Amino acid sequence: MSSIKNKKSVAIIGARGYVGSELITLLYAHPKVEIIAVSSRSAAGQRVAEITDKELYFTNLDPIETASLNADIVFLALPNNLCDSYMQEINKVKPDCLVIDLSFDNRLKESSEVDNAGYNWVYGLAELNNSSISSARRIANPGCYTTAAQLALYPLKQFITGKPNIFGVSGYSGAGSTPNEKNDTKHLKDNFLPYSLANHLHESEISKHSGHQVNFMPHVAPHFRGLSVTVNIESSKSFNEQLLLEHFSDEYKGQSLVHVQKNIPTVKEIAGKHGVIIGGFSVDKRTGKNIRLVCVIDNLLKGAATQAVQNMNIALGLNSLTAIDNK
C-alpha cells in the first residue's frame, strides 16, 4: 500500500514509550513517508500528540492486524521476544515490506539465516554497514550502548589485543517508561545504580559486531537522557593522544553524525542531539599501548530513533540524514 502524494506508508508498532515518541516526531517530519498507524496497547484510544495537523490515534494492533495494513515500512519498537510473531504475519501478506526491528531479537542473527520470505536480518549500524543496509528489507537496529561502544572501538579494531573494558553510564530513560527500579527517580536521587555487571545482552552484541570479546559494565544515573561509555583498550601499536585524535578524525571524515574532539565529551553536550561525540583520548605513557577514550550518545536518538530513520533512509536509497536535523 502506497499512500497519497507518492509517499511510502509507515506503521509504528509499540510506539508509546520514549523511543516511540522520538520516532513519531522524526517520521512525521519526513518528506518521503506518511504515518498510517501507530500502535500501543497501553495508549490505545489516545490521540498521538506529536502529530498536530491531523487526528491520529494510538491503536492496539496484533500481528495479523499489523500485516493487514499492507504498509510499505514497519517499525517494530516492541519488547524483546515479540518480533517473530509479527514477522510471520507480515511475511504472508507483504513479504517485501521494509521492517526495522528496534528490539534485541535479531541483532545476533547470522547473514546465512533467512526468514520464510527469504530475507536475512542486516545489522543496522549506519556508519559501519552502509552497503549491506542499502539492499536490506530486514534491519536489526543496534542498541544504544552498543552503538557508542562500537564507534569507539572501530578505528582501533586492527590493533586491539585482549578484552576491552567498557564502563557505561546511562540516563534512566534507557530503562524505558514502564516503572521499575532503574527508572525510579526517588531511588536514583543522589544515587548511582550498577546492574547486569556480567552477561548483559549488549555485552554479547558488542562482542559479536566489534569482532572482539569485551567486558561491559552498565550503570544508571539520575539524569533523564544521554549515555557515556569509557573504553579501555590494550593496543598492539603505540599511540599518543595527538595520533589518536588524528586517526579517529581520519576514520570518521565525512560521517556527519560522528564528531571527534580532543576534550572528554560529556552527556550534556549530546543530550537532544542526533550524533555521537568521541574524545578524551588518553594513553598510559609507560607503554603507549594502553588507551582510554570516551563516547557519548543520546540513547533515544542516535541510540535508537535517529538510527532507525537513518537505516530506513539508506534502505530506500535516500540521503541517510533525510528528516534528521544534524544538530
Active site residues: 144
State how far the Cα of 207 lies from the Cα of 214, in Å rounded to an integer: 6
**Strands lying side by side in the sheet with 258-260:** 193-194, 215-220, 160-170, 227-235, 290-297, 276-283, 258-260
- Count of beta carbons in the 10 Å neighbourhood of residue 310: 30
Is the separation of the CB atoms in 299 and 227 below 8 Å?
Answer: yes
Question: Cell triple for residue 81?
Answer: 521476544
Question: Cell triple for residue 137?
Answer: 528489507
Greatest alpha-carbon pair distance for the chain in Å reads 64
Question: Cell triple for residue 42?
Answer: 497501553
CA 56 to chain CA mean position, Å: 26
Closest by alpha carbon to 154, among 278, 301, 17?
278
Is the separation of the CB atoms in 308 and 23 below 8 Å?
Answer: yes
Is the separation of the CB atoms in 299 and 5 below 8 Å?
Answer: no
Half-sphere exposure of 145 (CA within 13 A, CB side): 28
Give the 3-state DSSP-derived string for 51-93, with helices as H, strands as E and coil as C: CCCCCCEEECCCHHHHHHCCCCEEEECCCCCCHHHHHHHHHHH
